[in-house]
Structure 1
Amino acid sequence: MAALNITPSESLSFILVGFPGLEAVHIWISIPIFLSYVIGLLGNFTLLFVVGKEQTLHKPMYLLLCMLALVEMGASTCVVPKAMWIFWFNWKSITMNGCLTQMFFFHTATMMHSAILVTMAFDRYVAICNPLRYSTILTNARIAKLGLAGLIRAVLFILPLPLFLNRLPFCDNLIIPNTYCDHMSVAKISCGDITVNTIYGFVVMLIVYGIDLMLIALSYSLIIRAVFIISSRKAHQKALNTCTSHLSVMLMSYPPGIIFSMTHRFGQGIAPHVHIILANLYFLIPPMLNPIVYGIKNKELHDKVGKYTCRI
């Protein structure tokens, strides 16, 4: 049997192919991806600017929105610039260290994103179920500490992933069928045993996202119970309206991520470009639509944004 040609990790360079089989239309595919990225940056920078300038918006809810904006811009910026190099200039090479760095920051940002959504659900629970104690329970300092805790959790859970990948041998196949380096895409092209990578990634997804979704479900079950106790129909509507933005953000964030992760592990019969479309929707849709959702649904934020845009 011929010996395997194993490349030393320090000299490795991977090839990111973008959308396999659709190389001829990469230029056209790049247009909606780039526009989505630019719209997301403009919307989130506008949100950060308005909240930063307006003293009246220096509240826990808007601090959470700013954290969400920063994390979403970070996740998309980890991916889109390199993807554009692939689509526009056909520069597909990425070093092992560059690949692991991109993967670490991207997965850390997405896990941090989930932690912020949990904190936002808790914020809505306190606002509706304990409105008189809201200002004492949720201070800006406490929100900052919760954000720091979410960041530490993300780093601790994600740090093993590049370490696990770095120990794997890679042979002749160095082609990653994706627009960016995610954990399973890189692991699958290894010629070594990836059982540890598969199990760890799946367990992290179940534990972290499972707990986060359970906490969000608990918050909203308590909110629904509190809303039904309220006798006034107008109070019902006002209470539920405060949650619709957060619910919309969750629906744009969790389903694409969960579907992408599950198809990566169990969807062997699915076409490669479908995997990659799901992977790109995962980090493009939320940052593009979230500022629009909150700008429309939140009257206070809508008025402040209007105040600055009308000056232009």
Structure 2
Amino acid sequence: MKPLKRHWSRKKLARRLLFDKSANDEHERSILTKLKHQCGGQFTSKMEGMVTDLTLARGNQASFEEYLSSNLIANLGIDLTVTVLTSGFWPSYKSFDLNFPAEMVRCVEVFNEFYQTKTKHRKLTWIYSLGICNINGKFESKTIELVVTTYQASALLLFNASDRLSYQEIMTQLNLSDDDVVRLLHSLSCAKYKILNKEPSTKIISPTDVFEFYSKFTDKMRRIKIPLPPVDEKKKVIEDVDKDRRYAIDASIVRIMKSRKVLGYQQLVLECVEQLGRMFKPDVKAIKKRIKDLITRDLPREG
């Protein structure tokens, strides 16, 4: 069970599914079945919902493409793929009111119009931090396809309308925080691929900096991926792990009591430690706390 413990956190599964790093749905379902047998349905229910969500999302995307082909007014001139998910199944992601450049605003409007034809009872919340964009950078030497995040694409597209932009102008136009603007501008002007020229030419992003599109940029590749430095989510990851472990402890306690009917307190703790030890190093204090909580809830049935 240790390999499952390493790879089957909900956060990691979400990344595999959302960024096409999964083998296929059947493979994910097969592993989930094994995990469900070991940990109980309560532990895997949200993961199963995530896999189902992706299957439904592919059907939704096909309907959207049919909508575009039969509705000339909605023609975007941009290939758009939207993955609609059920919020209750997935890890929580931050949502920002990003101000899109004009080229991208129409994309959101058209998909919202399409979605309204499908349902009137659900509200879409756009998670731009998960978005990936492929845009053509037209440089003097050649055109290079840039694979960037939605934030990075939004910043680069501002230079279609302006030759030079200050740090403050970019922050105001995109409606992003200082931290987010620093991250994306650093990735575009100070990292491996310098798509933007920065004045002054230093490795530190400052509020007084000015940027311009670097038309002389070149690379031997015709397609490059420009990473955006990750936000430090250590605290959030720890919280997610603790939550998943609580579910596993609850499932273990309920499973033991359903099979044994009557069991002494210390024996229950020991059996729980032994069972959970196949997945992670259990904390005895946490197990005792979950037992106490389940007693107050009258030991609910395993999901």
Q: TM-score, normalised by structure 1?
A: 0.24
Structure label with greater radius of gyration: 2
From the two aligned structures, give the one with the greater strand fraction. Answer: 2
From the two aligned structures, give the one with the greater helix fraction. Answer: 1
Q: TM-score, normalised by structure 2?
A: 0.25
